[in-house]
Amino acid sequence: MLTQLKAAWSGMVQPMLTRPKRLQVAALCLRGHGQKREVLLITSRDTGRWILPKGWPIDGLTAPDAALQEAWEEAGVKSGTVSNTPLGSYDYDKRMEGGVPVAVEVKVYAVEDVKMSDTYPEADERNRRWMPPAEAASLVDEPGLREMLRRL
């Protein structure tokens, strides 16, 4: 009987109580090659931790184009060549208004041939910095993103 209750809990009840992960898209902006390869990180507005430019999908845009739009708004990326397939993904818990955590899966799209602007929508709210992938990996909090950066 206990085995049947455990099976019912894990197979039926628990999945109904678990919310699915929400989806965000991110831009992993790259420049240089080999030992001179660098990635672009920005600071989050709330805690100042280092992150990739990212956000929710945008109606009317593909996921890669939405990632590029976020890179413009948050980091001043005027243009770039964005990959159509994700480089990878990572998970994190986003704190929503009121402090409620929401599980999020972030699909990461590589952006090459980046052109930057010094004026952009969130220029006064964030810092941005190009750095080697190993340094970027040491600065981000999310283990999945850290591993993705180390693989570069």
Q: Which structural domains are found in the chain, ordered by start?
A: 21-151 (3.90.79.10)
Mean pLDDT, residues 75-87 taken together: 97
- Tokens 């184009």 sit on residue: 65
* pLDDT score for 90: 97
Mean pLDDT, residues 109-117 taken together: 98
The closest of 83, 137, 60 to 71, measured between CA atoms, is 83
Reply yes or no on whether the pLDDT at 13 is more than 70. Answer: no
Which stretch of 29-43, 96-110, 138-152 has the lowest confidence by average pLDDT?
A: 96-110
CA separation, residue 16 to residues 5, 93, 116, 127 (Å): 15, 19, 45, 40
Write down the pTM of the prediction: 0.85
Reply yes or no on whether the pLDDT at 65 is more than 90. Answer: yes
Per DSSP bridges, beta strands 88-95 and 50-51 are unpaired
* pLDDT score for 36: 96
